[in-house]
């Protein structure tokens, strides 16, 4: 089933849509009285079997929540997220049939965005340097895509608390130095990428409780002196990947 919003002149027929368990031949039931144009505020279509093109949400200026996760959409057209000036939560999580597409820069118009879940949503290429445009963004999931290149510097000036970038097909690259300035971080998942360089000083990230480093201590504090010496040596060789993969714990001999 291809999703289409019902429109007659300047009227949209849904304020809140919460259907579950639709088959691919199912119909969206009439769930609300007709309202004036763009009064749609909440759209919950997750965990169905919706397929085909994701119809444009463009200019639904009152839309606050849109969940499309766990469906079978095949394509996201350009400008689909344009003009969503009230958007707070958006999820395309687990739509494995989506054709590859870049991260939408139209989302910069959604300055109130707090939760963005594009995990396993066919996102490819580099992350645009736009995250200072989301002052309210706290949760960002981009796991299981095909993101590449270095992390954008604007992440450092974001308000992101939980950041999941793990399991990219070809892998993000470069250093993770930007995270040392993300002092509000609570969760940071970076495994299954191609990052290089040293692990930055995260001592200012007081709330960080969940990371992905095998070198971390079980209790806070500096590494063993011999470990620090060996890390300095490894730095001169660009931190060889095999060296990083095999070394665990606070012992230079492991």
Q: Is residue 121 domain-shared with residue 220, that is, in the same domain?
A: no
User: Can you read off the two tokens belonging to residue 210?
Assistant: 């969940």
Q: Is residue 6 domain-shared with residue 120, that is, in the same domain?
A: yes
Where residue 105 sits, what CATH number does that domain have? Answer: 3.80.10.10
User: Can you read off the two tokens belonging to residue 209?
Assistant: 């409780």
Q: Judge whether 142 lies within some domain.
A: no
Q: Is residue 119 domain-shared with residue 235, that is, in the same domain?
A: no
Q: Judge whether 132 lies within some domain.
A: no
Say how far apart CA 34 and CA 6 lie, in whole Å: 10
- The pLDDT score that the predictor gives to residue 241 is 63
Last residue in a domain, options 125, 147, 174: 125
- The pLDDT score that the predictor gives to residue 38 is 56
If phi over 0 gives left and psi between -120 and 50 gives alpha, with beta otherwise, what is residue 238?
A: left
Last residue in a domain, options 102, 125, 148: 125
Q: Is residue 121 domain-shared with residue 7, that is, in the same domain?
A: yes
- The pLDDT score that the predictor gives to residue 78 is 86
- The pLDDT score that the predictor gives to residue 32 is 33
- Counting as low any pLDDT under 50, the low residues of the chain are 1-17, 20-21, 23-37, 213-218
Q: Judge whether 188 lies within some domain.
A: no
Last residue in a domain, options 95, 110, 125: 125
Q: Judge whether 235 lies within some domain.
A: yes
67 and 43 Cβ atoms separated by less than 8 Å: yes
172 and 149 Cβ atoms separated by less than 8 Å: yes
Q: Is 123 exposed, middle or buried (0-12, 13-18, 19+ CB in 10 A)?
A: buried
> Containing domain of residue 221, as a range?
215-254
Say how far apart CA 54 and CA 72 lie, in whole Å: 10
Stated pTM of the model: 0.75
Q: Judge whether 27 lies within some domain.
A: yes
Q: Is residue 12 domain-shared with residue 119, that is, in the same domain?
A: yes
Please tell me the total count of domains within the chain. 2
Q: Judge whether 181 lies within some domain.
A: no
Q: pLDDT tens digits, residue range 92-151? A: 999 999 999 999 999 999 999 999 999 999 999 999 999 999 999 999 999 999 999 999
């Amino acid at each position: 089933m291809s999703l289409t919003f019902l429109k007659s002149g300047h009227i949209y027929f849904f304020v809140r849509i919460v259907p579950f368990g639709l088959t691919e031949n199912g119909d969206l039931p009439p769930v609300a009285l007709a309202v004036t144009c763009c009064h749609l505020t909440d759209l919950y279509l997750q965990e169905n079997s919706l397929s085909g093109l994701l119809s444009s949400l463009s200019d639904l200026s009152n839309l606050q929540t849109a969940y499309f996760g766990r469906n079978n959409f095949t394509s996201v057209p350009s400008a689909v997220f344009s003009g969503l000036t009230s958007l707070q939560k958006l999820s395309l999580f687990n739509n494995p049939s989506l054709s590859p597409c870049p991260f939408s820069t139209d989302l910069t118009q959604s300055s109130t965005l707090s939760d963005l879940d594009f995990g396993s949503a066919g996102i490819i290429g580099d992350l645009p340097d736009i995250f200072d445009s989301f002052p309210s963004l706290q949760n960002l999931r981009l796991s299981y895509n095909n993101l590449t290149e270095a992390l954008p510097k604007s992440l450092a000036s974001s308000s992101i608390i939980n950041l999941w970038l793990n399991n990219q097909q070809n892998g993000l690259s470069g250093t993770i130095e930007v995270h040392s300035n993300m002092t509000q971080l609570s969760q940071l998942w970076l495994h299954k990428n191609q990052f290089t360089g040293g692990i930055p000083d995260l001592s200012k990230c007081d709330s960080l409780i969940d990371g992905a480093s095998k070198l971390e201590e079980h209790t806070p504090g500096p590494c063993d002196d011999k470990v620090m010496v060996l890390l300095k040596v490894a730095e001169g060789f660009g931190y060889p990947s095999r060296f990083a993969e095999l070394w665990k714990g606070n012992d230079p001999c492991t």
